[in-house]
């Protein structure tokens, strides 16, 4: 793996002064959202109500790229009781751009915090998807970002992960192209783990779609992760549990 070419998703974190608004929006959306022991790392209090249809719009982007994003995003509905409805215009819950730097998304109900994600501005961005991008990269990036849109965090920041980072190597790699992150951005997006009180998790899942790929040079014990371009079995079980299908109604 070329460690200089690793492209990583940037966390978009609601600032402290807006956290109360974020919690109120999340509770209004889904009062039943509460911490429970599930298998994939998730930020508590940012889940949509099961059965929700989330409206999605494109703020820009080429038609062929939009079509691929739609196709891959829809896969989450195979396992979760949630749907994405793509609409015209800029008045949607999830608003996608391709023109900003990097790839990132609001986490779950944070998309409703219009004091931070302003109306008519993106809640999700795909900074490197082009018509010529290969399908595996589309699958990897789109499923990852829409995982965030459903409330999932980065798996490498799961407090059960225990990754032994070679921090100086990571600083060197992510501080240059194509990411060009500051040390503070690297600290936040790579080394900080979510509090055990703010996540739902059990064991670290190396096959999760929410995990970054990284080379062995980035760790002290030679641990490395290859790119995952499809949700793992754990991802599927987890998202199905958080967004359960409506039970069939008996007609007898």
Q: State the CB neighbour count (10 A cutoff) for residue 51.
A: 13
Say if 54 falls within a structural domain: yes
pLDDT of residue 84: 96
Distance CA 142, CA 111 (A): 17
Say if 98 falls within a structural domain: yes
- Structure tokens, 123: 């809640």
Say if 205 falls within a structural domain: yes
Say if 109 falls within a structural domain: yes
**DSSP H stretches of helix in 2-87:** 19-29, 63-73
Say if 247 falls within a structural domain: no
Say if 118 falls within a structural domain: yes
Phi, psi of 69 (to 5 degrees): -60, -45
Say if 249 falls within a structural domain: no
**Structural domain boundaries, residue 166:** 3-242
CATH number of the CATH domain containing 98: 3.40.390.10
Q: What is the dihedral of CA 111, 229, 181, 192, to 10 degrees?
A: 70
Say if 40 falls within a structural domain: yes
Distance CA 217, CA 224 (A): 8
In the chain, how many domains are there? 1
Local confidence pLDDT in tens for the 252 residues of the chain: 444 456 667 777 788 888 888 888 888 888 765 444 444 555 557 889 999 999 999 999 999 999 999 999 999 999 999 999 999 988 899 999 999 888 899 999 999 999 999 988 999 999 889 999 999 999 999 999 999 999 887 777 766 667 888 999 999 988 887 778 888 888 877 887 665 554 555 677 888 898 878 889 999 999 888 888 999 998 999 899 889 987 544 333
pTM: 0.82
Angle at 14 (CA atoms; ends 41, 55), nearest 5 degrees: 80
Q: State the CB neighbour count (10 A cutoff) for residue 250.
A: 5
pLDDT of residue 155: 74
Q: What is the pLDDT of residues 158-211, one digit of tens each?
A: 666 678 889 999 999 888 877 788 888 888 778 876 655 545 556 778 888 988
């Amino acid at each position: 793996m070329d460690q200089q070419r690793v492209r990583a998703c940037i966390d978009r974190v609601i600032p402290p002064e807006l956290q109360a608004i974020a919690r109120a929006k999340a509770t209004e959306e889904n009062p039943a959202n509460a911490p429970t022991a599930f298998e994939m790392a998730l930020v508590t209090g940012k889940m949509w109500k099961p059965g929700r249809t989330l409206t999605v719009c494109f703020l820009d982007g080429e038609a062929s790229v939009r079509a691929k994003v739609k196709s891959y995003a829809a896969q989450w509905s195979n396992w979760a009781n949630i749907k994405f409805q793509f609409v015209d215009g800029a008045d949607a819950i999830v608003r996608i751009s391709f023109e900003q730097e990097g790839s990132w998304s609001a986490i779950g109900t944070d998309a409703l915090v219009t004091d931070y994600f302003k109306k008519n501005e993106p809640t999700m961005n795909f900074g490197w998807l082009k018509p010529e991008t290969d399908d595996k990269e589309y699958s990897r990036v789109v499923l990852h970002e829409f995982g965030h849109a459903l409330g999932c965090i980065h798996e490498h920041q799961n407090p059960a992960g225990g990754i032994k980072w070679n921090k100086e190597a990571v600083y060197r790699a992510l501080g240059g192209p194509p990411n060009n992150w500051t040390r503070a951005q690297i600290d936040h997006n790579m080394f900080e783990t979510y509090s055990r009180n703010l996540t739902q998790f059990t064991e670290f899942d190396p096959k999760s779609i929410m995990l970054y790929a990284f080379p062995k040079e980035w760790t002290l014990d030679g641990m490395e992760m290859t790119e995952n371009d499809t949700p793992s079995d754990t991802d599927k079980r987890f998202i199905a549990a958080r967004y359960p299908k409506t039970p069939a109604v008996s007609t007898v």
